[in-house]
Amino acid sequence: MRVLGIESSCDETGVAVYDTAAGLRAHHVYSQIDLHQAYGGVVPELASRDHVRKLLPLLRETLAEAGLTVRDLDGVAYTSGPGLVGALLVGAATARALAWSLDVPAIGVHHMEGHLLAPLLEPGAPQPPFVALLVSGGHTQLIAVRGIGDYELMGDTLDDAAGEAFDKTAKMMGLPYPGGPELAALAATGVPGRFTFSRPMCDRPGLDFSFSGLKTQVLLAWEKSDRNAQTRADIARGFEEAVTETLAIKCRRALAEAGLRSLIVAGGVGANRRLRALLAEAGAKEGFTVAFPRPEFCTDNGAMIAFAGALRLAAGQHQDAAIAVRPRWPLEELLKV
């Protein structure tokens, strides 16, 4: 079954074709970073308009690369939530219209399920059950995955998501949008241990996170410092250590609590090298496996949507032709496959 995947929930337009027999056939992502940079964050209306401009050319390019035409498609999957409503509607309307005209089934995919299943696109990927750490700009969740669509939320953030904490801290330190990767690059040149920030909520039981206090700690350290370039890098390093170590501590706890030895990491912050190294080290020491998607599938992309949609369409799931999106949508409400 050849499934077209469309992602348009935020500031990336992603298109891909996944073939349940032959794997990923082609994928393309267009990032709107340059468009939003001047505003220091995503402007929803500009995002929607840019998806309108980019989606069809990207779709043609992706099909051409796969050596296919729309007539070769057996189904269409699109992100139907959570995300920015206008941006979601662009993908949903395009996908629904295409599926209707081709008379093939279409399915709205949960964006976070896309992220969660992205590691399974890699060869030799683990199969459920496993614990998933979902770390993006909007989410920081630990989920016990017993099967596709069988998701139990074990821990969540009480305030800022991990990516949001990276982005806000980076902005405060004068780094350009999107701050996460910029701050991580700066941290790589920082001296570890010169600045130490707290590991929030690790001194008590439980799997929830709280990252909003860290940015205040970073601001105070920056204001009290000599404010030179090396100090900035050292503070960035201290911040990255605090976030990644907190995530690693809670991952180990979640594995113990779920009685599992397999961890997958997904979402934009999953591209963070320090997080990858820390978790790989902990896994080797404590006897659990860790799987990550390749970095380009950590951040938003169409491949994860095509893949998640293909699993559901192949299981016979699809919805009627209404163009419906869900800007808010708890992952636990999904149907099992």
Stretch that binds ligand KG4, among 21-29, 188-196, 264-272, 285-293 (CB under 6 A): 264-272
Is residue 136 involved in binding Zn ion (CB under 5 A)?
yes
Binding mask 184-223 for ligand KG4 (x = CB under 6 A): x---------------------------------------
Q: Residue 29 belongs to what H/E stretch? A: strand 23-31
Is residue 62 involved in binding Zn ion (CB under 5 A)?
no
What separation in angstroms does the CA of 256 have from each of 140, 252, 265, 332, 333?
A: 19, 6, 16, 21, 25
Q: What angle do CA 105, 109, 115 make, to 5 degrees?
A: 140
Of 5, 86, 119, 178, the one binding ligand KG4 (CB under 6 A) is 178
CB atoms closer than 10 angstroms to residue 266: 29
> Phi first, then psi: what are they for 4, rounded to 5°?
-85, 135
Of 66, 233, 242, 269, the one binding ligand KG4 (CB under 6 A) is 269
Q: Please choose which of Zn ion, ligand KG4, none residue 271 contacts, taking the beta carbon within 5 to 8 angstroms, the exact cut-off set by kind.
A: ligand KG4
Binding mask 17-56 for ligand KG4 (x = CB under 6 A): ----------------------------------------
Q: Which neighbouring-strand residues pair with 19? A: 2, 23
Binding mask 113-132 for ligand KG4 (x = CB under 6 A): --x-----------------
Of 81, 86, 163, 238, the one binding ligand KG4 (CB under 6 A) is 163
Site for Zn ion in 292-331 (CB under 5 A): 300
- Give the number of residues written for the chain: 337
Strand order across the beta sheet in which 2-7 lies: 23-31, 12-19, 2-7, 75-81, 106-110
How far apart are alpha carbons 182 and 200 in whole angstroms? Answer: 23
Positions in the binding site for Zn ion (CB under 5 A): 136, 300
